[in-house]
Chains A and B, each alone.
Chain A
Amino acid sequence: MTVPEFSPAFWFLAGAVAMLVLPARARASAFLLFPLASLIHIWFLPTGVLQAYAYLDHELILLRVDGFSRGFGLAFSLAALVIGIFSLRVTDRLQQTAALFYAGGSIGVTFAGDFFTLLIFWEVMAVASAMIIWAGPGRAAAGAGLRYLIFHLFGGALLLAGIVLLWHGGGGLEIRRFDAAASPAVILILLGVLVNAAMPPLHAWLPDSYPKAGVTGSIFLNAFTTKVAVYVLIQCFAGWEILMWAGCFMALYAVCYAVMANDIRLILSYHIISQVGYMIAVIGVGTEFALSAASLHAYNNIIYKTLLFMGTGVVLHAVGTTRLTDLGGLARRMPLVVALYMIGAFAISGFPLFSGFVSKAMILEAMGENGGWLVHVLLLAAVGTFLSVGIKLPYYTWFYRESGLEVKPYPAHMPLAMAILAAACLAFGMVPGWLFAWAPSAVEFQPYSVYQVVEALQLPLATFVAFWFFRHKILGEPKIALDLDWFYRKSAPLWETLFITRVNRVFSATQDILDHWTEKAFAFARNPARLLREVPDRFDANLQRADLGSNVGLILVVVVLLTLLSLW
């Protein structure tokens, strides 16, 4: 089948415009059409550079299809479609419009062939996702959205600076793999991308904002920004050894915070970072197999992480809180949700027969061959994964003790959307060939080896035993763990003084001086006679008339002059 060759991002952008005009009743169902169209479109797109325009002396490539962009494009479209099903009850026009813009930006980056096009869609993503956060409830969402936007505009500025330097250096703007011997331009681009990948220490925007969005908002946010960054890292920075170290550090750092977190959406938010760490580590390896592992893990991650976020979304919708210390004993009221969530939890923990097992086995294989002992860091992160997402979150949310919370009914399309994703988790785990079919290059790999299965069973078993022993101690008190956002949140008054109050003061002082002198000049111009003698502020004809004697004298002089003139 031949399909029109334009970027599938335009389906989403058209959808966003449609959301602005459609009535509330039609919007939520119409929402589904656009990701569906994109899904079919990408499926049939041929490979190669398909849509490009000359602009100035530069070529804008809006559509470049290869194995990576096709896979990521399909995964993003699928995520948007299934989250659309989950969100069928949403009537908020702003959120629906922003969601489609956001997904469109992600797809636009995925199919961009040059950095200029990439940058435009990158900024679309930043602004649209900030809108989604602002749609969340309360003042917390407003503040977090603003911090999020500032952070991402900063990241976009780094990216722009890198792109300008790259252009200036004459290297051309085509998206390509950079050598590890880096120029300042390439480093700036890397930093800009790492902001979106939430690489510590550039990560604090993510756990700060994602848990504060609305029920469906945080599900949307989890699927796109970080995975788009992973895609760009695969295309441009494969084989950079430093990414191997950074990724392992990232996986472990974030999983520790996930273990500490009390809010279930915060646990999952930190966990996004940890999972992206796995992908980045294996991108650092850079072999063809490693890049396949990174992509397949990203696709799997989009699927099971969305499923997990949906589980917490149902809890928030039905109970109204996401704090573990308030929850408990809800399993009997939502058994289907618990079962579907656990499929996602087993998948993310890499249990045999679940999708995460296959891609995690590939990552461990690639890291084991090239990364030496670093693979043990990833194994430790895997322990933390099962501890936080696989046991702690479900155990204290749905079991442990009776919280007595009232459970509101939730619509059937919510578990339906979860079931679609859960089916994918099981299918890819049981038939790895279906997953490998998505890989950018042919994968010859047998994940079900004795070594992999033994490792994938013994680690969670040990984790479970340790958890069970300490289960009354782990829940703790409702507290937050300070992260690096402390630096800019606590110092906010200082920045406000420096960049707002002080600047305002300079402006207002200048204004005062100008006002003062303008007033003086104005007063002078209105009555210049003041300069010569004492006169009242306003001109008054009666007060400033000359006295009678002078007037009579003046008349006399004129009469005498006229008389003389007539006698001449």
Chain B
Amino acid sequence: MKLVGWIFLFLIFAGTVAAQYWDDPAKFPAYYFVYGLLGCLLLLFVTKVVAKKSIMRKEDYYDRS
């Protein structure tokens, strides 16, 4: 992705942080960003690492007798 895109996304992020701070300074302003990042990494770990070693099979798994 081009630099312009990243700058655009960063501006949205900065906007949300500012809005959250303005709304309630007591809350951690990037809470949902951190939660989303950790959550996404957890999902990727579970589906791409744990599942790969346990339940992933070739596509013709059910066709082979």
Residues of A at the B interface (CB closer than 8 Å) are 255-256, 259-260, 262, 376, 379-380, 383-384, 387, 450-451, 453-455, 457-468, 470, 473-474, 476, 478-483, 489-490
Contacts and interface: CB of A to CB of B under 8 A. Distances in A.
Of residues A454, A461, A465, which shows the largest number of chain B Cβ atoms within 10 Å of its Cβ? A454
B48 A473 contact: yes
Nearest to B65: A493
B40 A457 contact: no
Contacts of A476: 48, 52
A479 B57 contact: yes
B32 A454 contact: yes
Given A380-B43, A462-B40, A479 B13 contact: no
Given A461-B9, A461-B36, 14 more contacts: A256-B51, A259-B44, A379-B35, A450-B20, A459-B36, A462-B33, A463-B39, A464-B9, A466-B41, A474-B48, A480-B59, A481-B56, A481-B57, A490-B62
Contact of B40 (A383, A451, A454, A490): A383
Contacts of B31: 458
Interface residues on B, range: 35 or more
Complex A-B, nearest 6 residue pairs according to Cβ-Cβ distance, in ascending order: A462-B36, A458-B32, A450-B23, A459-B36, A466-B40, A462-B37
Nearest to B60: A480
B56 A479 contact: yes
A468 B9 CA distance: 13
Given A379-B35, A383-B36, A466 B44 contact: yes
Contact of A460 (B23, B30, B36): B36
Interface string B17-32: 0011011100000111
B32 to A, nearest CB: 4
A479 B12 contact: no
A463 B48 contact: no
Contacts of A380: 39, 42-43
Given A256-B46, A259-B44, A380-B43, A463 B36 contact: yes
B63 to A, nearest CB: 8
A470 to B, nearest CB: 6
B16 A453 contact: yes
24 contacts: A256-B46, A256-B47, A260-B51, A260-B56, A379-B39, A380-B42, A383-B39, A383-B43, A387-B44, A450-B23, A451-B20, A451-B23, A454-B23, A457-B13, A461-B12, A461-B13, A462-B35, A463-B37, A466-B36, A466-B40, A476-B48, A480-B57, A481-B51, A482-B61
B55 A459 contact: no
B47 A260 contact: yes
Given A380-B43, A476-B48, A461 B33 contact: yes
B44 A474 contact: yes
Given A457-B16, A461-B36, A464-B9, A489 B43 contact: no
Contacts of A467: 40
Contact of B43 (A387, A460, A490): A387
Contacts of B1: 468
Contacts of A480: 56-59, 61
B34 A462 contact: yes
A457 to B, nearest CB: 5
Contacts of A383: 36, 39-40, 43
B56 to A, nearest CB: 5
Contact of B59 (A468, A478, A483): A478
B33 A458 contact: yes
B19 A450 contact: yes
Contacts of A262: 59
Contacts of A463: 36-37, 39-40
Contacts of B52: 476
Contacts of A459: 32-33, 35-36, 39
Contacts of A473: 48
Nearest to A261: B47
B13 to A, nearest CB: 6
A259 B47 contact: yes
Contacts of B62: 489-490
Contacts of B43: 255-256, 259, 380, 383-384, 387
A467 B24 CA distance: 30
A479 B59 contact: yes
A387 B34 CA distance: 15
Given A259-B47, A482-B57, A462 B32 contact: yes
B16 A454 contact: yes
Nearest to B37: A462
A150 B15 CA distance: 53
B23 to A, nearest CB: 4
Nearest to A139: B63
Contacts of B37: 462-463, 465-466
B2 to A, nearest CB: 12
B55 A482 contact: yes
A178 to B, nearest CB: 35
Contacts of B34: 462
Nearest to B50: A256
Contacts of B57: 479-482
